A and B are shown apart, each in its own frame.
Chain A
């Protein structure tokens, strides 16, 4: 045993990183949080609508088991079930913890936590702090971490960038290579374990709802160093965002949770002021097609329907790719109290007050269900052994991942208000496992020869030296914009193999042109250009993972929609028929007339498709390309079945 505190390096100061930092300090560990900017500015602050926990505060009969089912179904059965189940069972305690930390959650008349509805569920299970819930949760965790800094348990390295893992001769991660973004010095931080809590990769698409730092570079670097990257092709397109030049700003799902309605004029060329269009001349297409879930169908469903209305039916508002998100039937006071944050964002960026006029919105790239492949240790009860060192460990021993940077919790499509939960859950849950991992090591980081660290540092120093010497004709920021355009044009809501092949060629072309990049700034103080060029290199590789995964996966699952492989569910199909079909199948052949016409054929095709494709996509870096294989998904608790929301 070691005579010192266990020490870990956490990369990223969002919800996952901060939750882990707090928990690890509490377990008497020592933590260094590395963050691209000051803490409090991480992308988690952008989360708006809320965080899920089945507390059943409204006496609707909700339970963690139902939360578990909704999440698995929402993710089209691609998530490992024991993990999701454990997360949903921990959720109520997580909300109470955040409440104890002082998060200003909206409250009921009696002073208890209030809850609202989100997509993909029929229950009010989303706790919220106005419409800036992510910001409020980040602040609460940040305050606890600051308290630990004050008490001497934690340190932060703000304005520092993670460049790569320090791997010893056995391939075990022994620390991190860090880049000081002010002095531009590169050095190593030895540690018992390194955790990547670095968020998602929205910048691969250029414009998305993501923040500027969400390049996915840290996770991609891990992939380039040998870690597996899983389910990259599953990118969530959020149905409601405001189009913009620099960013597509999110309009929270809570807008619909609080009664917001999506519609377009029934006549495609109707250019009247929306307030002047009477009810019976409006087409509330989600409500009509999905009478059960209405405007709160899961995000993949809503985005596809909006896409269809705009591009296939050509019914977009004023002929533009936009639909109305309407809250004008709600009182100003109600909107200010429960949705103030997003009301202000819309007003500030469009000059139009959504309390008076319907918002114009369109889907935007929002979240990556995929991420670094990570492991978990199941227990006997269909939950998780929280002490297992396997929890959240990537395929590189000693390198862990948490939050949006890992792939485990959302399957093929994430439900709204589950991301904040998965971030905090992973951060809290993994602390004990990391402690145990450290104990299980034969050799401590203190016994690793210093040459291992020198080599890692020198590798990155040379890499940055080479980047600074790049003096070609391509502007890296322009090239990034082009990469984003390729991804937006070909790897978005509706996918087909021809476009995906075209994207592959275009990405290869961008990769060739990358060699001709000019480092537009060669100064040696607070110079962001070499970092950006390295991030662009990573984004090119990540775009290949996403595109190849999408190209190879010939099916329609969750956010990955390929019309050519849509099994086309019969309109009157009931998912329970499938359970019956599976049971009857055990007793021999089933005759066609057991089910309504066409249903048996559909179910057989559904079953065959699952045998082939209900698998995790795993990408590994080989010969400069992602080499793709498929892994089993743990579906031991709920039988996968066709999804239905109408």
Chain B
């Protein structure tokens, strides 16, 4: 029991531009261990299985309860959060890799700023008049709220984009997470006032028409956001917008 071990195979990279390499690690087994607790164990004893002392593996994480979106990585070939990846449910050696669709910063850390830039492009916010006290917000049926709530649980983790065959390091495709945000804000009574701006932003290069309809995004979303519904809905909204643009201009 006490000498039970967990075996890891971790893909490492010291810097952007340098080649990646694999290292094997072994950490003592503990019940309910997850990937994060094992990576923490490696920090406390940064020695490879072969007995060589190395720099501890670096990775991103924060909340450790799958609500911040930080610790996304590829675990045994599947993109997911490391915090909810329990060791008992994984085959060993457990392979950890950084996401492949974002530039690697170091080891398991990647730069997802492209996702946040896209939020700016589609103006994913409500244009409030100001933060002063001007009374209550719009009345809204709870069913609409519930629809929006599911979409607004998106934590910009990047799983949907890692899985998407259309999204790559070298193109400008926005991807499911961004389209879902357009739908989220277009569905809000005040947000819908800027609906057209958001639709125009996803009608150009990298926009909604580049979606290949592979539908894998929805399978990997850790928050079960109906991403394919969002894509279909934005597809419809942009079609109307396209016709409207033709008629008006």
Q: Give A residues with C-beta under 8 Å from B.
A: 22-23, 26, 37-43, 45-46, 93, 96-97, 99-102, 104-112, 114, 129-130, 132, 135-136, 139, 143-144, 146-147, 149-150, 158, 182, 211-213, 244-247, 249-250, 337, 341, 344-345, 348-351, 428, 475, 477-478, 481, 520-523, 525-529
Q: Known: A38-B156, A40-B155, A41-B62. Contact between A102 and B120, CB under 8 A? A: no
Residues of B within 8 A of A144 (CB): 125, 128, 131
Residues 58-77 of B, flagged 1 when their CB comes within 8 A of A and 0 if not, give 10111111111110000000
Q: List 10 A-B contacts (CB under 8 A).
A: A41-B70, A106-B142, A182-B105, A212-B64, A245-B32, A249-B64, A341-B67, A349-B65, A521-B46, A525-B106
Residues of A within 8 A of B49 (CB): none
Residues 109-131 of B, flagged 1 when their CB comes within 8 A of A and 0 if not, give 10011001001100111111011
When chains A and B are docked, how far (Å) is the Cα of A523 from the Cα of B30?
Answer: 31
Contact residue among A106, A246, A526 (Cβ-Cβ distance under 8 Å from B34): A246
Interface centre among A26, A136, A147, A158 (most CB of B within 10 A): A147
Q: Known: A38-B116, A211-B62. Contact between A26 and B130, CB under 8 A? A: yes
Closest chain B residue to A144, Cβ basis: B125
Q: Are A135 and B67 in contact (CB under 8 A)?
A: yes
Residues of A within 8 A of B43 (CB): 475, 477, 520
Residues of B within 8 A of A112 (CB): 136, 139
- Which stretch in B146-154, B162-170, B230-238 binds the other chain? B146-154
Known A40-B68, A147-B127; further 6 A-B contacts with Cβ < 8 A: A97-B131, A101-B126, A102-B190, A211-B68, A520-B55, A521-B56
Q: Are A97 and B133 in contact (CB under 8 A)?
A: yes
When chains A and B are docked, how far (Å) is the Cα of A631 from the Cα of B195?
Answer: 54
Residues of B within 8 A of A22 (CB): 131
Contact residue among A43, A150, A345 (Cβ-Cβ distance under 8 Å from B66): A345
Q: Are A523 and B14 in contact (CB under 8 A)?
A: yes
Q: Are A345 and B65 in contact (CB under 8 A)?
A: yes
- Minimum CB–CB distance from A131 to chain B (whole Å) comes to 10
Q: Known: A249-B64, A477-B40, A526-B105. Contact between A111 and B141, CB under 8 A? A: yes
Residues of A within 8 A of B61 (CB): 212
When chains A and B are docked, how far (Å) is the Cα of A110 from the Cα of B135?
Answer: 17
Q: Are B123 and A147 in contact (CB under 8 A)?
A: yes
Residues 31-48 of B, flagged 1 when their CB comes within 8 A of A and 0 if not, give 011101100100111100
Closest chain B residue to A350, Cβ basis: B32
Q: Known: A102-B185, A102-B188, A245-B30. Contact between A481 and B142, CB under 8 A? A: no
- Minimum CB–CB distance from B101 to chain A (whole Å) comes to 16
Q: Known: A107-B141, A526-B109. Contact between A349 and B60, CB under 8 A? A: no
- Minimum CB–CB distance from B109 to chain A (whole Å) comes to 7
The reply to whether the CB of B5 lies closer than 8 angstroms to some CB of chain A is no
The reply to whether the CB of B86 lies closer than 8 angstroms to some CB of chain A is yes
Q: Known: A100-B126, A135-B67, A212-B64. Contact between A38 and B113, CB under 8 A? A: yes
Closest chain A residue to B185, Cβ basis: A102
Residues of B within 8 A of A135 (CB): 67, 153, 155
Q: Are A150 and B128 in contact (CB under 8 A)?
A: no
The reply to whether the CB of B191 lies closer than 8 angstroms to some CB of chain A is yes
When chains A and B are docked, how far (Å) is the Cα of A325 from the Cα of B57?
Answer: 37
